[in-house]
Each structure stands twice: as structure tokens, then as C-alpha cells.
Homo-oligomer: A and B are copies of this chain.
Amino acid sequence: MSSSTPPTHDPKWRRLPEERPRQILEAAIAVFGEHGIAAAKLEEIAARAGVSKGTIYLYFPSKEDLFREVIRQVLVPRIAQVEHELTGGTAIEQIERYLRVHWHYFDRPEAASWLRLVLFELHKFPDLEQFYYDEVIALSNRVLGDVLRRGVASGELRQLDPAASVSLIKAVLLMHVIWMSSPAAKASARAPQHTIDGIVDFVLHALRPDAPAGVAAPVLP
């Protein structure tokens, strides 16, 4: 047509070697979350990242390695960050805050999907599971365990095994996250707000001292 057309061609694609890994990882966390490891398609990840399938292989050797990097570079930091939103207050207050902060964090469907995936599909990759355990679970357990130890020492909580209690508390919380995230559960469900209130009530009752006649622990309103 007109010879005034500038020499620029609207390139079909651009060279962005610095940004590709991040773009791919971001797309991958979404797709893995939605479909799980096995059912996630590289074509879909590529499409969402705005690249072709071949490009993924320029940066990640295989689907499994891509998954590894998603955990390492995206998931671990994201979860570790949540663990640090809790400081200050009595042990009871911190436990309640722990429950509510995590409940709120897992309220996003994406987070719940990943929890599902970690709990139920990760065991097929034992080394990854170990890595995840060391980096995420152990940290998280330490944080909550310390709170419990302090509470026991101060008499705010009854005499209990902190490590075991961490598991018990998390079990209640995480299982309800799973249940609330399933559409079927939502049919028969009460409101999420009501659910977390019930969890907090249940857990705190389980942890408080027996309060036999003598020293009735002051129950705050």
C-alpha cells in the first residue's frame, strides 16, 4: 500500500528472556492449582503465559521440574509470608489470629486448590514433599508451636504437648478449608464466617485449662 508504512512490522512476538521464567511460573501456578499436576496441560500454561509450548522447554526441562520451581519460587515465599502476620497479644489471642488469618488466606479458591494439591498429590514426588515439609510445614509448625509453649508456660493454656497440638489445630482448620472449597459442601454449608467462629470456639475450648474449682481461668468476653 502506502510507502509511508514504517519499517516496523508489529512483531509477532518479542524477545523477553528475562521475563519468561516469571511469566511461565505465574501461569503455571494458576493452571496447576485449577487442574492438579497430572491434568495440567503445558499448552494451557503456555497460552496463559503468552508464549508457545516450546518456549517453556527453553526455561524448564520438564513438566515436573516446572512444578518444582513453582513450589520453590512462588508458593513457599507466599506461604512463609502469611506466617509472619502474627505477633503480639496473649497466646489465646495469637491462636485466634492464626486461625482467622489463615482462614482468610485460604478463602481465595486458588489457595484452597493448592492446599488440595499439596495434601493429596504431592506424595507422588517424595523429594518435593520433603522439600515442602522442610521449607513450609516445619516453619509454620515452629511458629505456632512457640505460641503454644508460651501459653502453657504462662498457664494460659492447659498442660499439653505443643507439637501434637499444632497438628490438631491445623487439622481442624485445613480440613474445613478443603470442605468449604468443594461446591458440594457449599450446598449444605453455613456461612464461612459462622464456620471459622465454630473452629475458633472448638480449638480454644480444647486448649484452655480444665479450670477445676480452684483457679478459674478468667474467661474474656
Contacts and interface: CB of A to CB of B under 8 A. Distances in A.
A74 interface: no
Nearest to A215: B212
A130 B168 CA distance: 28
Q: How many identical subunits does the complex contain?
A: 2
Contacts of A133: 184, 188
Contacts of A201: 219
Interface stretch (A9-17, A22-30, A170-178): A170-178
Contacts of A164: 190, 194-195, 198
A158 B39 CA distance: 46
Contacts of A205: 158, 205-207, 210
A119 B126 CA distance: 20
A119 B39 contact: no
Contacts of A194: 164, 221
Contact of A126 (B129, B167, B184): B184
15 contacts: A38-B38, A120-B120, A123-B182, A126-B184, A133-B184, A161-B198, A164-B195, A164-B198, A167-B179, A168-B198, A171-B175, A171-B176, A201-B219, A202-B206, A211-B212
A14 to B, nearest CB: 37
Given A123-B182, A171-B172, A175-B175, A212 B206 contact: no
Contacts of A213: 211, 216
A176 B167 contact: yes
A48 interface: no
A93 interface: no
Interface in A119-144: 119-121, 123, 126, 129-130, 133
A94 interface: no
A116 interface: yes
A203 interface: yes
A195 to B, nearest CB: 8
Contacts of A183: 123, 126
A149 to B, nearest CB: 16
Contacts of A199: 168
